[in-house]
Chains A and B, each alone.
Chain A
Amino acid sequence: MKFSKEQWRMVTALLLVAVLSTTFLGITNILTRAPIAEAERQALMDALMQVLPKHNNDPIQDTRQISLPKHKQATTFYISRNQNQSINAIAWETIAPDGYNGSIRILMAVRPNGSLNAVRITYHQETPGLGDGIMNLSWLDAFVGKSLSNAHWAVKKDGGDFDQFTGATITPRAVVKAIKKGLEMFAKQRAYLFEDKKEVAKELKDALR
């Protein structure tokens, strides 16, 4: 098959446009990669600062990964330590899959005694003015200090401790359920999360001796 002169022109024109566009996209990608990573780190840092108590370490560096059942990706736990380097809270992001409109991502920080230090919503697509009441700090503050043993984990309509909103029960219900599940998971993984790497190494040495 032979191309006519007009066909060659079409091919070269499209090829050139594609090559040039891709080149510029590549350059932009290289230029923005570092700033995007920095912006995401900053956003995570800001959110962690809001949920964690005063700490003396960098929680973004001090992490543990756990592959939880039914999760595709490993969950990252951010560890906060006080001056004595003992853990004073652990934060991680949990997902409420059953929001009114898609999943809701929740950053929760738990103290060693199993009570919540603070909770923040990091991502949601709930109805503005109705479901997005979960963003209100006054609502989120109701979770502070709550643990599996000292609260009824349901919205008031279902006989629990937490307010629902007028016209929106599904959203707060999903958030309360996800936080409860998160606390239950924390109780199960506690041993692993709190074990100190140094102590593990020592135990191993003792066992080998």
Chain B
Amino acid sequence: MHCGSGTEEQVADTKGEIFANGFWHNNAIFAQLLGMCPLLGVTTSAENGFWMGAATLVALLGSNLVVSLVRDFIPSSVRIPAYITIIAAFVSMIGMAMNAWMHEMYLILGLFIPLIVVNCAILGRAEAFASKNTPVNSLVDALAMGSGFTFALVLLGGVREILGQGTCFGFNILGDSYPDVLMFILPPGAFIALGFILAGVNIINRRMAAKKEQQALQTTQIPITLETQS
């Protein structure tokens, strides 16, 4: 596991920056390519992706909060087994709760729920963020990371569902005459769709970087024009 070692942590001071980092700049899927197993396994539809993301979000909130609360108490030499125990406890509780109150979805997601324990994105956040930050900031980070992860899962699930079955969240979008493209429901379709999504994310990131550069240039020009006027 290469947990938390994917990209360098950007320094974030305000809660807004923590959120932006977690949701986009350090997005578990788009930037770090972590948690691929549930991503490729359950995203055959937008709804499956959403509930898998929601379960991961709750696990992240719990583990980040608890890890942050006990961060001064756990000796660093045994922190990983301690974190994994905490994460495993939360995931098991979520599994039981889903089995009890969302039985049908539990049967669909089945095997992938216990696998959240070894989702690198969660241990990665415990190690890289919650063990060094206050409980409130850790919760913000978990919320951002979890919703970013959910966003990625819903996006991929939606794309695969639309292309594979012509529906999105179960609603018929492309009409009954749409020939289902089976490949997008099968595992290879997940890799292909993910590749195109990552390409799109890279385009957006590049445009955003270019815009920032332009703005930086403009702000340096403004004082000069003001000076000539006065």
A-contact 0/1 string along B164-193, CB 8 Å cutoff: 100000000000000010100110000000
**B residues within 8 A CB of A18?**
85
Q: Are the C-beta atoms of A25 and B92 separated by less than 8 Å?
A: yes
Q: Within B38-92, which residues are at the interface with A (CB < 8 Å)? A: 44, 70, 73-75, 77-78, 81-82, 85-86, 88-89, 92
Q: Are the C-beta atoms of A129 and B77 separated by less than 8 Å?
A: no
Tell me if B210 counts as interface (CB < 8 A to partner A): no
B-contact 0/1 string along A7-31, CB 8 Å cutoff: 0011001100110011011001100
**B residues within 8 A CB of A127?**
186
Q: Are the C-beta atoms of A39 and B70 separated by less than 8 Å?
A: no
Q: How far apart sit A21 and B66, CA to CA, in the bound complex (Å)?
A: 11
- Number of residues of chain A lying within 8 A (CB) of chain B: 25
**A residues within 8 A CB of B77?**
10
Q: How far apart sit A129 and B181, CA to CA, in the bound complex (Å)?
A: 9
Q: Are the C-beta atoms of A36 and B89 separated by less than 8 Å?
A: no
> In this complex, which of A22, A36, A40, A130 has the most chain B Cβ atoms within 10 angstroms of its Cβ?
A36
**B residues within 8 A CB of A21?**
85-86, 88-89
Q: Are the C-beta atoms of B75 and A9 separated by less than 8 Å?
A: yes
Q: Are the C-beta atoms of B164 and A129 separated by less than 8 Å?
A: yes
Number of CB contacts from chain A to chain B under 8 A: 66
**B residues within 8 A CB of A36?**
96, 99-100, 103
Chain A residue with the shortest CB-CB distance to B181: A129
> In this complex, which of B73, B93, B185 has the most chain A Cβ atoms within 10 angstroms of its Cβ?
B93
Main secondary structure of the interface of A (DSSP, over half): helix
Tell me if A65 counts as interface (CB < 8 A to partner B): no
Q: How far apart sit A13 and B44, CA to CA, in the bound complex (Å)?
A: 41
Tell me if B97 counts as interface (CB < 8 A to partner A): yes
Chain A residue with the shortest CB-CB distance to B183: A129
Q: Are the C-beta atoms of B96 and A40 separated by less than 8 Å?
A: no
Q: Within A159-184, which residues are at the interface with B (CB < 8 Å)? A: none
Q: Are the C-beta atoms of A17 and B182 separated by less than 8 Å?
A: no
**A residues within 8 A CB of B73?**
13
Q: How far apart sit A43 and B182, CA to CA, in the bound complex (Å)?
A: 29
**B residues within 8 A CB of A28?**
92-93, 96-97
**B residues within 8 A CB of A6?**
75
Residues of B within 8 A of A (CB): 44, 70, 73-75, 77-78, 81-82, 85-86, 88-89, 92-93, 96-97, 99-101, 103-104, 107, 164, 180, 182, 185-186
Residues of A within 8 A of B (CB): 6, 9-10, 13-14, 17-18, 21-22, 24-25, 28-29, 32, 35-36, 39-40, 42-43, 123, 127-130
12 contacts between A and B (CB under 8 A): A6-B75, A10-B75, A13-B75, A14-B82, A21-B85, A28-B97, A36-B96, A36-B100, A39-B99, A42-B103, A128-B44, A129-B185
